[in-house]
Amino acid sequence: MSELSPDKKQPDNGSSASSHTLLEGRLGYQLETALLVRALTHRSYAYENGGLPTNERLEFLGDSVLGLVVTDTLYRTHPDLPEGQLAKLRAAVVNSRALAEVGRGLELGSFIRLGRGEEGTGGRDKASILADTLEAVIGAVYLDQGLGAASELVHRLFDPLIEKSSNLGAGLDWKTSLQELTAAESLGVPEYLVTETGPDHEKTFTAAARVGGVSYGTGTGRSKKEAEQQAAESAWRAIKAAAEERATAERTAVGAPDEAEADAAAGAEAVAQVRAQADSETGAGVEPGADGAADGEGATDTPSASPPSSPAAPAPEERPPGEPAGA
């Protein structure tokens, strides 16, 4: 094919046979050289070299193969998840950022054929270029080796990411999770204010997530989408924490009267027990005597309940007749 002619090659631009062999070793498959070269040809290189075929058609094919394998895996491994949750899981796996990370793991950037313009602006580590090239490589494996080989490659590269995404919960899509949370809390629809700094080839984006005119979190990233996701995560955590704190306070307020009533009831029960014990002890000192008297037992030991009689007053002395009193 025309893109393989010697005058069209760029030195050290990932098109040598040795570099292809290294990449094939990482992929685990030996591919037709022309097909692999096309999979690695970015449009910037093609345009600078007379309109060579690009990897865009292979990218289109590989995107479908990747989506099919990931969707089939999610469907089979999560039989109880509804369609909406399955869609979130797939979106967490099949997106530019995730594909770019897989591409970096393969050091795919060092094999891509790039134009001088992209080369000078950091294209080898650009997420969109890495993601597109990885999809093109998957498409090339499908054409050269068949669906079984392409499926095995996707599983080997993406199964760890699928497993990780299955445990993310709200982190599957922070923007969607934030929108669901603000709707549940009746706070309004989230908005994102994005600013950018730096040169075109090295921009940094900063996003602020606002809900109802209040800023709840910020995030930064190498793309607008990444910055918004980070801002949404920060806002989600802040709003969730406030909601949980409010719910705890409400439960405490509702439970306070019940606790007071329980304490009062316990106190009343304790007083009743003390009184009952006192009455029991008092009754124990009286009843046995009464019972003994009735049975004729212990009568000699039990003193009379009637008070002792007062001593009789002495009789007045008789005086002789005519003696005055007191004489």
Total residues belonging to the chain:
327
Among 3, 119, 135, 228, the active-site one is 135
Query: Are 302 and 286 in contact, with CB atoms under 8 Å apart?
Result: no
- Rg for the chain (alpha carbons), in Å? 46
How open is the CA angle 318-319-320, to the nearest 5 degrees?
Answer: 125
Of the candidates 156, 130, 128, the one whose C-alpha atom is nearest the C-alpha of residue 141 is 156
Q: Among positive and negative, which fits the CA dihedral 104, 110, 116, 122? A: positive
- Residue 63 annotated in active site: yes
DSSP letter for each residue of 87-154? HHHHHHHSSHHHHHHHHHHTTGGGG-B--HHHHHTTGGG-HHHHHHHHHHHHHHHHHHH-HHHHHHHH
Going by the DSSP 8-state scheme, the letter that residue 325 receives in this structure is: T
C-alpha span between 123 and 125 (Å, rounded): 5
Among 3, 48, 63, 233, the active-site one is 63
Tokens of 202: 């090295």
Catalytic residues: 63, 135
